[in-house]
Amino acid sequence: MTELTQYVYAFDKANEPIARAKDGDEFSFRTLDCYSGQVCTEEDIVGESFNFSRTNPATGPLYVEGAMPGDVLVVDVLSVEVADKGAVTTIPNIGPLYDRCVDRTRILPVKDGKTELGGLIIPINPMIGVIGTAPAGEDVIDGFVGSHGGNMDNKLITKGTRLYLPVRVPGALLQMGDVHAAMGDGELCGTGIEIPAEITVKVQLVKNFELHWPVLETHDKWYVNANAPKYDEALMNGSKELQRLLMNVTGWDPVETYMYMSIQSDVEISQGCEPCEVQLSLRIGTPKLPQFAPLVPRP
């Protein structure tokens, strides 16, 4: 299996791929933490002197042969193996309570699937914060989120899940990073347990399928991932895409589908602590139903 170790700081169609994959190949992405190794001790504070241009590095990109605009890249997350320690920090002007706190770093050990903070034992749930394909237009820095993916900070993107990403450029140019050993929905102070990791994925293609936003598949649900500067705009983006996909597989009209969504679909905030220019990231989940075809075709 090939291991990827090149780091880039934006999703960009001009990024030179460091490896090529065929449909069905498995690759290992070795990732840095979101600080690019700048935070190693509790004396390392994310403050005014911190180099923010080196945050949220992503490993890649991986060129997937045969991937063309209008296709969907399917990424199965096979494993997310984290290092033996990570860091959680406060970040200036990030999160609802920043004006009530001071800059602080905590280095947290990780052992046997657990960590410890303030005397409490906390189970870990390693997840991928940044993952996506290259946009067709201007580059998007790794700390931002968009319809290509990026910094979705969705805690469900973890071992055993499947992600469907729109392909906007030839080869898709998949990259990923910003792993958290644990993170709550919303990521209130701006960080989870930021940690280096090794991610193993399998890549496959669905040819010629219209997908406007990333879709996540778990064992029991489908989730549309969407974003916008404001909650109501992000909600509209995700709701329209979920409605469209559900209508495709059910044959219902828009009103029937809308009513079903109100009864059965859940809106969950993935990332809600960042300033508006970084944008609010949410997911809308709907149950898998055996009487319907998959929301997105499976490869």
Check whether the bond before 61 is cis (ω within 30° of 0).
yes
pLDDT tens profile 212-226? 999 999 999 999 999
pLDDT of residue 93: 86
pLDDT at 142 over 90: yes
Between 75 and 45, the more confident residue is: 75
pLDDT of residue 214: 98
- At residue 278 the predicted structure's pLDDT band, cuts being 50, 70 and 90, is low
- Among 124, 129, 181, 123, residue whose Cα is nearest residue 154: 129
- What token pair was written down for 164? 């469907």
Q: Has this prediction a pTM greater than 0.85?
A: yes
pLDDT tens profile 96-127? 898 898 899 999 999 999 999 999 999 999 99
- Let me know: does 261 contact 216? Beta carbons within 8 Å: no
pLDDT tens profile 42-71? 999 998 778 888 899 999 999 999 999 999
CA dist 189 → 47, 86, 151, 279 (Å): 14, 15, 16, 15
Mean of pLDDT values over 19-26: 97
Displacement of CA 46 from its chain's centroid (Å): 22
Query: Mean pLDDT of all residues in the chain?
Result: 95
pLDDT at 275 over 80: no
pLDDT of residue 298: 92
Q: What is the 3-state secondary structure (H, E, C) of the chain?
A: CEEECCEECEECCCCCCCEEECCCCEEEEEECCCCCCCCCCCCCCCCCCCCHHHCCCEEEEEEECCCCCCCEEEEEEEEEEECCEEEEECCCCCCCCHHHCCCCEEEEECECCEEEECCEEEECCCEEEEEECCCCCCCEECCCEECCEECCCCCCCECCCEEEEECCCCCCCEEEEEEECCCCCECCCCCCCECCEEEEEEEEEECCCCCCCCEEECCCEEEEEEEECCHHHHHHHHHHHHHHHHHHHHCCCHHHHHHHHHHHCEEEEEECCCCCCCCEEEEEEEECCCCCCCCCCCC
pLDDT of residue 51: 87
pLDDT at 31 over 60: yes
- Beta strand 72-82 pairing with 145-146: unpaired
- What token pair was written down for 260? 């079903």
pLDDT of residue 98: 87
- At residue 164 the predicted structure's pLDDT band, cuts being 50, 70 and 90, is very high
